[in-house]
Structure 1
């Protein structure tokens, strides 16, 4: 008598209807098809980022005006930067802008995000209004701000006159210009931090807030002991992003003060622009650009290292 055994269904799991096994050739064709679509865009992105960066490094070790043949000078451009008083002044202005802009954008972003997280009428309209300045061109924002803070016919001084406050020079005063630029940048960038923190607030588990309230915590204690710890990873990302934004801010300064008055708003990025495109010292400007890149990278890595050491990773 012949015995028959049923095949183990786990050895050959049933395949869905219409399923077809794909061999090595089929997988290879799929990969080729995918790269046929993504390849040209990848080549363009790499070509427009990696190649200019490598080329700029070689330029930074040369003396070149963009027309005559370049003369290799080694590391002399970097050595000159260490004793360049204009570079030192631009670094101080950049540091001042960063200190004014980054903490203000984070604190104001959190406060606006908390306000936009409430259930009130027309909340979608308010959220859109907050984000519109970020979407607008920074160049357009700078041009508009130039009219608003004009000492003669600007709207800011008109408001001051209405309330009996002495008029100000704003962007034409070396002691006020950088603070006004930080205020303009804050108006244009706070929408970004607000949206980021709003998304983080909506991602906080409601059970944590409800448990804290059941334990008798008031709104301030809930915010301090529940909300803020949950926002720390987002804050790490925001600090790095806003720091890079402040250190690389160019279009706003170009459309408002162009580094003036008396170079009081000349940041490192604008100084690099003047070196490369105004005085045609391309090698020296490329060295300054690489120095800015190194400083930005060190600051970003420092923030990441500190956040991971404290157990709050933002990336």
Structure 2
């Protein structure tokens, strides 16, 4: 009679190997499913972001009118920008707009946030009214203020006339157009700063404020030594956000002034659009766009380094 074979048994090593294989197969299946869900977004990002960025970078080294075959010109577009007075004026207008818009929007946002952080009647309504202009599109803002600031039939000059002030050109006056755009941008952009500061003010530790008051700190000292230092990370974020927005302003300029009068409101992004789609010098416009991109990169890196520096100093002191 033949002997009965012993039942098959797995060693601990075999069990571990099979478990590891099953785990790897499950991980591969999960990865495949994840890529299946993510792939549409990846394709959209590649098609609308990465590919245009690379294409425009190559375009900046070519003479291209978007119609006839282009030719390679190397750095000629960038050299021409350095000598172009119109581009220089666009840079000056953009820097002036940014230098005024960023600190004013930050300060007004903080001031309004501190006012609206109190327990007052209908505070929710006031907060909503402050934030509503931010969600209005720049195109709608431009159309609205084009009517309000119209030199002949606008409501602004009607009010000034009743006050005995002579009519103003506003958006049609080279000396007033950029300040008028600044006021419109402050009206719409300050609301974002208010909302962010409101959220940050409500996170200021009450125990810290109470301790400062017990030590005899007044409102000014409380603001200077407690509130503002606590809001530093939020302020850094808002400064960077507002700088980027002000350097990229376009819609409002396009709707209201078309870069005029006499180029007084031509900013860098409008200059890029004008060169690429009005003058059909796409390579030249792409070069201007990359000058702006480089400026934004410098601002972002510089802000990040400036934010890290106080922490590094504090760590060095602690050591």
TM-score by length of 2: 0.88
Match of 2:82 in 1: 82
User: Is the 8 Å Cα contact of residues 97 and 178 (structure 1) preserved in structure 2?
Assistant: yes
Match of 1:114 in 2: 114
Q: Which segment drifts farther, 141-150 or 116-125?
A: 116-125
Q: Distance in 2 between matches of 1:198 and 1:248?
A: 26
Tell me the C-alpha RMSD between the 2 structures: 1.3
Match of 1:8 in 2: none
Q: Distance in 1 between matches of 2:299 and 2:137?
A: 27
Match of 2:309 in 1: 309
User: What secondary structure, in the 3-state scheme, does the structure 1 residue paired with 2:260 have?
Assistant: coil
Match of 2:66 in 1: 66
User: What secondary structure, in the 3-state scheme, does the structure 1 residue paired with 2:231 have?
Assistant: helix
Q: Distance in 2 between matches of 1:225 and 1:105?
A: 22
Match of 1:100 in 2: 100
1:254 aligns with 2:250: no
TM-superposed CA distance for 1:35, in Å, is 2.1
Q: Which segment drifts farther, 41-50 or 85-94?
A: 41-50
Q: Distance in 2 between matches of 1:104 and 1:62?
A: 40
Instruction: Describe how 1:151-230 pairs up with structure 2 within 5 A.
Output: 151-230=151-230
User: Is the 8 Å Cα contact of residues 100 and 179 (structure 1) preserved in structure 2?
Assistant: no
Match of 2:316 in 1: none
User: What secondary structure, in the 3-state scheme, does the structure 1 residue paired with 2:311 have?
Assistant: coil
Q: Distance in 1 between matches of 2:205 and 2:179?
A: 39
Q: Distance in 2 between matches of 1:229 and 1:303?
A: 17
Q: Deviations over 1:99-128 (max 9, x none)?
A: 111111000000111111111222222111
Residue segments in structure 2 that go unaligned for 5+ positions in a row: 1-21, 313-319
TM-superposed CA distance for 1:25, in Å, is 2.5
The ranges of structure 1 where at least 4 consecutive aligned residues each deviate by more than 4 angstroms after the TM superposition are none
Q: Distance in 2 between matches of 1:71 and 1:250?
A: 29
TM-superposed CA distance for 1:145, in Å, is 0.6
Q: Distance in 2 between matches of 1:23 and 1:297?
A: 43
TM-superposed CA distance for 1:216, in Å, is 1.1
User: Is the 8 Å Cα contact of residues 171 and 180 (structure 1) preserved in structure 2?
Assistant: yes
User: What secondary structure, in the 3-state scheme, does the structure 2 residue paired with 1:262 have?
Assistant: coil
* Structure with larger Rg: 2
Q: Distance in 2 between matches of 1:234 and 1:60?
A: 36
Q: Distance in 2 between matches of 1:82 and 1:153?
A: 41
Q: Deviations over 1:41-78 (max 9, x none)?
A: 12211321111000001110000111111100111111
Q: Distance in 2 between matches of 1:121 and 1:24?
A: 61
Residue segments in structure 1 that go unaligned for 5+ positions in a row: 1-21
